[in-house]
Structure 1
Amino acid sequence: MHAAATRSEPLHVSLVAIPEAVVSTLSGIFDVMNAFAMMPLSGLPSQEPPFQVEIVGLKPGPLELASRVPVVVQRSVVEVDDTDIIIVPSILLGPAGWQKGLHPEIVDWFCAMHRRGALLCSACSGIFLLAETGLFDGVDTTVHFGYAHAFSATFPEVPIHPERVLVVSGRHEELITSGASMTWHDLVLYLIARHAGATAAQAVARSFALQWHQDGLAPYIVFEGRKDHGDLAIQAAQEWVATHFSVVNPVEEMIRRTGLSERTFKRRFTSATGSSPIAYVQRLRIEDAKRRLERTEASIDEISWQVGYEEPAFFRRLFKRVTGLPPGAYRRRFKIPDYARQGAREVEV
């Protein structure tokens, strides 16, 4: 491994640009990691920039990214013989998902740099490209929760935890992945803290108004029950319960409607959806409660009753277990602020 903390020269950061990359993540990482050279940081003494950030790719020159915005690749990876940190930004998957083998030269370069001690980092869906190295097989990782199923189907040998913000793995903590979208903030702040110190990370966070996602990503995940399983009886039950989850005893009613025995229904439902019937109902109820907390002024006790729970205390415990936040804290975080509501069209729950 590179002796990052003891070196006097800046660490070389290779930010990978490929046509599938998302410009916002790439440019954001570039600017924040260059902050030491670009702007004065309050609370930090004058110091040499700890990072030298460079955009690398297959060949130097203009490159149009997924959003059709061009960036300039500063050097080809074949010209980079040594680097300390490699970061693959978010990439945009097409309707067919991720196609392996699009960039074999870059994947080979990842492996070569890893052997020389480089950290391999991904922001959001960048792990799709990094996973082609095989270095993440059997290694805990994270990815955008919207891409979790696609990632597991493409790389079944890589354990994925989409609810986690940042996962640091590997024998030398050299395999680093961040989760959904803006958790590249956490990735960059982690790298700054690791190599330039906690004070430097705090100074950068203040200057850019960045926040650590310390409560994880569970509050952001929208539950969508799996429906591509092909079991028509279970699919019909799912369609019914999607609009009747708040009734009394919804599981018993689903069983009655399918005509299956209780044991057969529960076995088939769990096999098809990946959730037990009661857990599925609970997730639907909590998802509806989240929307009501975001969009209405109803009390938490009232929302508990509206989604099907007569005991608010149980609802509060369940809500926190599912989302990681108590209902009140969830409302404070996700409710649309008054300044954004002014002049906005109200949407009914």
Structure 2
Amino acid sequence: MVRQSSHIGSRPLQVGLVAVPDAVISTLAGIYDVLNGASIMGLPIPGSTPPFRIKIIGEKTGPLPLASGVPIEVQRSIDDIPACDIVIVPSVLLKSSGWEKGRYPRLVDWLQRMHAGGARLCSACSGIFLLAETGAFDGREATVHFGYARQFAALYPAVTIHPERVLVISGRHEDLVSSGASATWHDMVLYLIAQHAGSTTAQEVARMFALQWHQDGLAPYIVFEGRSDHGDGEIQSAQTWLSGHFSLANPVEEMIKRSKLAERTFKRRFTAATGLSPIVYVQRLRIEDAKRRLERTEMSVDEISWRVGYEDAAFFRRLFKRTTGMAPGAYRKRFRIPDFART
């Protein structure tokens, strides 16, 4: 039972696009339109048969207000769908209290049955929270919006997550697909089109919608925030001091002196509390500051290197690329505000 084989020229794949009250309309509607892109744009399709037959599905038919308050029309009830080839759960909006498990037992049961019958389960961004309730991702790899990574890991420790990755395809038959933060649903949909309508069609759809594959990954987008919920007051104090002094020479040595702990004890406790060694933590703070300077100033890379604490600009460049996946100049080009948008 695989979902990898091409369906070019054969019957359309039955795709269920799940609508729940938590869903984000932009993602749901975007997936619907782009997956239908070849037909909408009148592109030539290999075999002339549209590759997908998409229905917006939910627990009952009719208008359903989504997270933003804008309604979407649920076209088919899960009670009327005995089988499906692909099921996609779009982004959901998590409240401040987080994702509440067990709210959609009928839907989770239906998802389990679809997967058992051979359906490929796909999630966009935070949609993985709902899919993870099926247990299908236990012992498997997935991705999720980096802003929700800690919460997801706490709720579903059996799932190995990679929030820095754009797209993760896992499962024995590559039947589990998850896309990362926000607009990476583009990559998921283009992947499905390439798989089932051919790479040429995927390229044409990407061109018509002006979509880009996120080939640099999501590391450049992730803002580093050191863990502070560990309960170690001594390390918390060191982190607070470091947040304003990371650019000093030898900040790790200074932290150790200020803590009055033995060096080995400090490093052990720091790593246990934050998940990073002191030197790596310093590096992450420095790179994060460098990112802001690249985005918001005209400073040269060499000057930024010096200001964040590195006299060796070549080392800084290597570290920046290793951390973000992009060279400083490429990062600046990608993330700085265009001249026409500046005030």
In 2: Cα distance, 1:266 partner to 1:68 partner? 49
1:17-56 alignment, distance < 5 Å: 17-41=19-43, 47-56=48-57
Structure 1 residue runs of 5 or longer lacking an equivalent are: 345-349
In 1: Cα distance, 2:47 partner to 2:107 partner? 36
Counterpart in the other structure of 2:213: 212
Counterpart in the other structure of 2:167: 166
Q: Give the C-alpha shift of residue 101 in structure 1.
A: 0.7
Instruction: Give deviations 1:220-267, integer Å, cap 9, x for gaps.
Output: 100000001111111111111111110111111111111111111111
For these two proteins, the number of residue pairs brought into alignment is 341
Counterpart in the other structure of 2:194: 193
Letter in 2 for 1:192: I
Residue identity over aligned pairs, in percent, reads 68
Q: Give the C-alpha shift of residue 6 in structure 1.
A: 5.5
Highest relative contact order (Cα 8 Å, sep 6+), 1 or 2? 2
Counterpart in the other structure of 2:130: 129
Q: Give the C-alpha shift of residue 100 in structure 1.
A: 0.9
Instruction: Give deviations 1:183-242, integer Å, cap 9, x for gaps.
Output: 000000000000000000000000000000011110110000000111111111111111
In 2: Cα distance, 1:35 partner to 1:211 partner? 15
SS of 1:211's equivalent in the other structure is: coil
1:1-349 alignment, distance < 5 Å: 1=1, 5=7, 8-41=10-43, 47-341=48-342, 344=343
Contact 2:153/2:159 (CA < 8 Å) preserved in 1?
Answer: yes
Q: Give the C-alpha shift of residue 4 in structure 1.
A: 5.1
Contact 1:136/1:158 (CA < 8 Å) preserved in 2?
Answer: yes
Instruction: Give deviations 1:128-152, integer Å, cap 9, x for gaps.
Output: 0001111100101100000000000
SS of 2:332's equivalent in the other structure is: helix
CA spacing shift, 1:135–1:147, aligned 2, 3 Å:
same
In 2: Cα distance, 1:35 partner to 1:198 partner? 14
In 2: Cα distance, 1:337 partner to 1:213 partner? 20
Contact 1:4/1:11 (CA < 8 Å) preserved in 2?
Answer: no
In 1: Cα distance, 2:6 partner to 2:175 partner? 12
Contact 1:44/1:203 (CA < 8 Å) preserved in 2?
Answer: no
Letter in 1 for 2:308: V
Q: Give the C-alpha shift of residue 10 in structure 1.
A: 1.2
Instruction: Give deviations 1:8-32, integer Å, cap 9, x for gaps.
Output: 2211110000011111100100111
Contact 2:38/2:201 (CA < 8 Å) preserved in 1?
Answer: no
CA spacing shift, 1:121–1:224, aligned 2, 3 Å:
same
SS of 2:177's equivalent in the other structure is: strand
SS of 1:52's equivalent in the other structure is: strand
Q: Give the C-alpha shift of residue 94 in structure 1.
A: 1.4
CA RMSD for the aligned pairs? 1.3
Letter in 1 for 2:33: D
In 2: Cα distance, 1:19 partner to 1:207 partner? 30
TM-score (norm 2): 0.97
Q: Give the C-alpha shift of residue 281 in structure 1.
A: 0.5
Q: Give the C-alpha shift of residue 40 in structure 1.
A: 2.5
In 2: Cα distance, 1:123 partner to 1:256 partner? 47
CA spacing shift, 1:45–1:79, aligned 2, 3 Å:
closer
In 2: Cα distance, 1:156 partner to 1:331 partner? 36
In 2: Cα distance, 1:253 partner to 1:193 partner? 54
Q: Give the C-alpha shift of residue 48 in structure 1.
A: 3.0
SS of 2:168's equivalent in the other structure is: strand
In 1: Cα distance, 2:294 partner to 2:90 partner? 33
In 1: Cα distance, 2:60 partner to 2:213 partner? 34
Instruction: Give deviations 1:23-59, integer Å, cap 9, x for gaps.
Output: 1100100111111222223x76793321111100010
SS of 1:12's equivalent in the other structure is: strand
In 1: Cα distance, 2:142 partner to 2:40 partner? 32
In 1: Cα distance, 2:149 partner to 2:46 partner? 42
